[in-house]
Structure 1
Amino acid sequence: MAGSIAKRPNGRWRARYRDDTGRERSRHFTRKVDAAAWLDEVASALHAGTYVNPRAGRVTFRQFYDDWAPRQLWVPSTRANADLAVDSVAFGDLPMKAIRRSHIETWVKAMSAKWAPTTIKTRFVIVRSVFRAAVADRVIAADPSDGVALPRRRKVEAAMRIPTVEQVGRLLAHADSSRVSTRHGFRAYVALCAFAGLRKGEAAGIQVGDIDSSLRRLTVSRQLQRDGSTFVARLPKYGSERLVPLPDDLVEMLRQHIETFLPEEPPPDAWLFTVGDGPMYDNDIDWRWRATRTSAGLPHVRLHDLRHFYASGLIAAGCDVVTVQRALGHSSATTTLNTYSHLWPTAEDRTRAAAADLMNQALNPASRG
């Protein structure tokens, strides 16, 4: 970097340099030593590739977000969540270069009085991504959210709610109301979530052609999401397209559902669950689920708890991590372990069972074979 220091007629020292775009920039100091130190700092930043245009940080947080967000490859629901996160900050009108770690900490503290730790983390991650984008664009030199502590979340095993077999049976029994015609056919939807582990949007996106009755398996290749006043079909979450083996009873339930609620010989692209002329999705599902769990006397059970029920059943039956990962459509075995590791038998459990088996053989000669 070519820089220079010159004494001005007013007795102050002017330090000048050309930035990485070739534009000349300057700053005035009372002492020459301060001017030299500043030039050294700028030269070091230019050499390291961390130089930030002094004027760039004048853009406000909100302005930067409004320019950055439309370029992100987000689905509508992700953009909506990002907008909520940005709307919740108190520093939206501050210049990016003026935002300090204390601003982020104050925002997190305020949220902790209203929201659960998981919600706070979701919003924090979005806001942090804005700051990181600003650093990458050299709008600011450092991310002020770096190192900010978040409220402690409950352990997965403490927060996870897994319905019992009896509770799932009650939900299935109440899913199809004999009094409310709009809930007819919802039983098969609940069964797909409980016995195939499908997410809400994945179950909504099932078409007749996705069911292979002869091989007893289901192709999960799309999910339905709200898009304004209508819906849009997208790839499953995190690209979790998969084939899910189906139990015989579920295959038969789906066959009966098609025979009862869909036109005779429906085409392969016919939606399995419908409301009027379109697929059942989003609020259509939420309303039916709330009515079902209320009727069953289980108002605390969430629809996603049925996915945990399915996973816990696979693990209890001895399925390994990779098998469970593939069935659930997780992006990696690490995700599966992070979510369900507490359900797998520990080394202590296996040691105890092995010792019990040895003791049984020693005390009961007939068991030795």
Structure 2
Amino acid sequence: MPYYNIAFFYDYLRDDHHWTQQMVTLGAPVAILATIWAGPLLAHRFNPRYLIVAGTGLTCLAFQWFGHLHGSSIEYYAAWCVYMLGYLLSGPIPHQIIISNWYCRNRGQAMGIAYIGGALAGAIGNKLAPWLVSFMSYRSAIQVLGLLLLLAWPLALFVLKDRPEDLGQNPDGLVWPLALFVLKDRPEDLGQHPDGDEVPTVAALDAADSLAFAELTRRSSFWFLLVGSAASIGSIASVNFLMKFVFEEQGFTNQAARDHIWSTASFAALIAAIGGRIVVGWLADRMSRKTVMVATYAQVAIAIPLLFLVTPQTPHYAYLFGIVFGFAMGADYMLVPLMAADLFGLRSLGRAMSAIVPSDTITQY
């Protein structure tokens, strides 16, 4: 919810504190450069559920701080640093690790279904934020959104489990009789390879030893994935975070009208993202993930120019933009961890994503 809705308050912060648009949007880049160390240093060292608790707590604290700013740019940047640290700890990384631990054969579909929660929460926030500012100050509204993050604590502490072994289960729901009397530890026990292929694939990589950062950085595939995902996700996120200012330049100068068109476009995008995550998750388990990723990148490139069709005279184009852009956005975010797990193995996923996510985050802002 905070990731998809913090930008709603950009123009409120600008007007309230008499800041420039450049200063308001500079907070996030300053913060990510100041906290980029957190991902590689902390993400793979701690229990994913505890990372979620710590990260959501820090993000909640940042939102309370945003609601109590006094006009100092230093204070604003400091609040962003707290937010970014919370995002790096509780954002994609711990969730991707937990999902990958639980699923192997249908990991793409599982990742797509799990990411629906993020899209739904973001879509709810798209409607909740404009509704809150209709009867309370934007300061109170941003604090309310922050407090909602604490709802993640009981789920992380008492419902989620890091891996199926914590409940005496196996990935993909394999039951113990089959595991004992039918299944073999590895296809090599029968002189075969995973999925009947001639070369080892995902399952074999999942069992591989964790790779050190030095080993990851020596692989060209790591750098291709890091740079490619940073470029694609950066283009998507820049639209999300600057959309309201674009609408203002397009002619939506009235605050209420700008809030409404932003809510409409962002809500449509996040609802479409649900479809993107389900469809592409299903395809990613049945087709080459590289092919699916290239197709997704192409759709992103097609979708972004549609934003400039949305004007006060043609507001209905917000739905067209939202649907095309949102489908690509939903697919893109979930393909990166799937590719990382394929390339480097499950045990290296946390370490790889702890470097990739901060790099993606830099380009987002």
TM over 0.5: no
- TM-score band, normalised by the shorter chain? under 0.3
Which structure has the higher relative contact order (CA within 8 Å, separation 6+)? Answer: 2
**By percentage of residues, which structure has more helix?**
2
Q: What TM-score do you get using the length of structure 1 for normalisation?
A: 0.23
Q: What TM-score do you get using the length of structure 2 for normalisation?
A: 0.23
Larger radius of gyration: 1
